[in-house]
Amino acid sequence: MGYEGLSKLFYKSPEQYQAAYQRRFAGDATVHFAFDVHQKPAFLVITPELLSLIDQIHVLDKQLTWISRRLPKIAKQQYSTWAVIEEIRLTNEIEGVHSTRREIQLLVEDHLPVKNEQRLVGFVKKYRQLMNRQSIPLRTCEDLRRLYDELCLPDVIADAADHAPDGLLFRKDSVCIYSESQKEIHKGLYPESAILSAMTKALDMLHDSQLPVLLRIALFHYCFAYIHPFYDGNGRMDRFISSYYLAWNFNPLLGYHLSYTIKKELSTYYKLFKQTNDPRNCGDLTLFAEGFLRIIRTSSESLNASLLKRLEKMTFFRNQLLKRFPNDRHFRVLHILMLNTLFGYRGLTLPELAAACGMDEPLTAVLLQTLATQTPLVVLYREGEHTMYEVNLERLAEIP
């Protein structure tokens, strides 16, 4: 039988409820924290399920790294960029903020002139920093505020100027979270002194090296949402921080895939918060930690399956090309286009294709022209001012 939440036990077996709480709180496998949830000291029971989840995620991460190392450079680059674009789009969508793949793509690829007031600029900058393995300080409340100012503040002000932080670092007024039916489901900590105190404790938890990093990520994710330090942008901040620590401690792709998985399991994600926030749960963070690690496991499983499938197709399509095009310059152009089409999110421009093939642009253009007239494999289309090139994978599969 799985770990049962105390809030559920309160209704199911009231006579056992208090005894269960005392047993869990005082157990040998319990970790206590200097963090209160509804005036109850927070704690975590190290269950067999938690240990198993941690082990499974590490095994999956090794498999993901094994697959990644077998991918050509352009395949990894294109897949990573696609994952980041989707991560940004979906973390915004979870909060009801609409953003298109195209506008995110142009910012991720640095194809637009950057203006400080431009929508999504700060958000994309931080994810590009994540892709480039640049360290982001997250030790103090001041660090969190600096991150918020760069990540969320411009977009928050653009949507509602009065939602900007008005306290020393965070908000100075109270805030409530409501359901779609306008029922209050959570009230963030108040006043700001309580926010500062709780956030300092949550950051201590995040950096407690005596706990496995996966547990620290899960626990901080809950604590940040519980504190709710800003009027707006809390969810995006919280998910970015989790993505940052996942990308630094595991295969980076895992950090670029969190919001994708959360969006698919959104009802489960919200249910975890609801169960843990219930005052009758008495500060027990175990269910949230287990549930959040399951989301990370699911994310890693889907990444492994997606990349393994593409890896198998890559080998198949390469063999298809070799049947018709010996290992020469025509093959090189088509091979690069095939990899980009299979792993990417858009076609390649002539300069990009030439650089990836290690050839000059005039020669690449001649080869493309020859291929376009001799075979139906090359597909071209317009994207803004650019002509983009891809390979028709369905036709490639039909080569006898």
Catalytic residues: 228
Q: Would the annotation count 162 as a binding residue?
A: no
Beta bridge partners of 186: 177
C-alpha pair distances (Å), 202 with each of 210, 274, 355: 15, 19, 47
Beta bridge partners of 36: 41
Helix, strand or coil, per DSSP, at residue 41:
strand
Q: Would the annotation count 234 as a binding residue?
A: yes
Q: Would the annotation count 237 as a binding residue?
A: yes
Q: Would the annotation count 269 as a binding residue?
A: yes
Give yes or no for a contact between 326 and 318, defined as CB atoms under 8 angstroms apart: no
Q: Would the annotation count 239 as a binding residue?
A: yes
Give yes or no for a contact between 155 and 97, defined as CB atoms under 8 angstroms apart: yes
Q: Would the annotation count 236 as a binding residue?
A: yes
Q: Would the annotation count 347 as a binding residue?
A: no
- Kindly report the backbone phi and psi dihedral angles of residue 184, in degrees, each rounded to the nearest multiple of 5, phi listed first: -65, 125
Give yes or no for a contact between 219 and 238, defined as CB atoms under 8 angstroms apart: no
C-alpha pair distances (Å), 150 with each of 146, 237, 369, 380: 6, 11, 45, 38
Q: Would the annotation count 277 as a binding residue?
A: yes
Q: Would the annotation count 1 as a binding residue?
A: no
Q: Would the annotation count 55 as a binding residue?
A: no
**Residue 103 burial class via C-beta count within 10 angstroms: exposed 0-12, middle 13-18, buried 19 and up:** middle
Q: Would the annotation count 232 as a binding residue?
A: yes
| Distance separating alpha carbons of residues 128 and 108, to the nearest angstrom | 7
For the annotated binding site, the residues are: 232-239, 269-270, 277
For the annotated binding site for ATP, the residues are: 232-239, 269-270, 277
